[in-house]
Amino acid sequence: MIRLAVLGHPVGHSRSPAMHNAALAALGLGSEWRYEAIKVAPGGFEARVRAMPGEGFAGANVTVPHKGAALALADELSGVAREVGAANTLIFAGGEIRAENTDADGLLNALPASPAGRRALVLGAGGAGRAAVWALVREGAEVEVWNRTELRSRHLCDELGGRPASDPAQGDYELIVNTTAVGLRGEDPFEQLPLDPAGFAPGQTVVDMVYGVEQTPLLAAAGKAGASVVDGIEVLVQQGALSLRLWTGCEAPVEVMRSAARA
């Protein structure tokens, strides 16, 4: 068996095993490859990863809270991983660990249209926020960044581009991307983020990286106002499709992955 895994803490809720195993089966690789979820506490991350090549792993996805640690331990970094400052994908080959970031292009692939020339607001300045800002700036969007801790968004913009926004005017943006953790534990996004449920408009695209069983309150309000919505599962599918191609060299069956992730 060639093994793949997602490493996170927590990781039990992850849709990645179902999504990737369905994709591997559809590619005819189901009897050779298997994808699993492995819960790894922060203190144990490096030792866990270093043992993986010897246990038959060809690669791994890395999620909260390990994306920075994944970058730090790699022998080789892709340009995107280095610039974003986080890795969500590891590839084990030739005795080396290579770090990639597919979150950035995954977000772009999840959007219904190119963000070039569009006014975009990114909420959050963690790893997911950095990938979003990097991708949108590279595509030529006019990016503003809001973060609860303003120092962090200022720092992010100094490094990656975009402008910090301390009091963003929700109606001014054609694209709004929530990369914060707000909503993961049932928090009210309209209490924690500078957004008003009645402030969305048709013509806007709203992305919420948070996903759960039901549509998030953020996307429900945006959809009700006539905005286009992109949920965290779609972003997960798109980053996963890029990771799968890096490991297997095969074009990913995106529709199969989407159905499995949503099942």
Residues 42-81 that bind ligand ATR (CB under 6 A): 64, 67
Q: Which residues, including other chains, have CB under 8 Å from residue 191's CB and lie 6 or more apart?
A: none
**Does 34 help bind ligand ATR (rule: CB under 6 A)?**
no
Residues 185-224 that bind ligand ATR (CB under 6 A): 187, 192
**Does 244 help bind ligand ATR (rule: CB under 6 A)?**
no
Among the residue ranges 8-16, 37-45, 124-132, 200-208, the one whose residues contact ligand ATR (CB under 6 A)? 124-132
Nearer to ligand ATR among residue 101 and residue 204 (C-beta): 101
CB of 129 to ligand ATR, least distance (A): 6
Tell which one of 88, 101, 102, 147 touches ligand ATR (CB under 6 A): 147
Q: Which residues, including other chains, have CB under 8 Å from residue 126's CB and lie 6 or more apart?
A: 179, 180, 181
Residue of 15, 66, 67, 258 marked catalytic: 67
Nearer to ligand ATR among residue 4 and residue 145 (C-beta): 145
Q: Which residues, including other chains, have CB under 8 Å from residue 164's CB and lie 6 or more apart?
A: 144, 145, 146, 147, 150, 153, 154, 157
Instruction: Mark out the alpha helices in 140-230 (DSSP H runs).
Output: 150-160, 189-192, 217-224
Among the residue ranges 34-42, 50-58, 143-151, 226-234, the one whose residues contact ligand ATR (CB under 6 A)? 143-151
* 78 vs 91: CA distance, rounded Å: 11
**Which DSSP letter does residue 214 get?**
S
One-letter amino acid at 59 equals G
* 127 vs 125: CA distance, rounded Å: 7
Among the residue ranges 104-112, 147-155, 160-168, 229-237, the one whose residues contact ligand ATR (CB under 6 A)? 147-155
**Does 17 help bind ligand ATR (rule: CB under 6 A)?**
no
* 150 vs 132: CA distance, rounded Å: 17
Q: Which of 136, 40, 140 is nearest to 84 (CA)?
A: 136
- Reading the block at residue 149, the tokens are 């801790």
Residue 91's SS3 state is strand
Total residues binding ligand ATR (CB under 6 A)? 18
Residue closest to ligand ATR (Cβ): 126
| 67 annotated active-site | yes
* Active site (catalytic) residues: 67
Binding residues vs ligand ATR (CB under 6 A): 64, 67, 124-129, 147-149, 152, 179-182, 187, 192
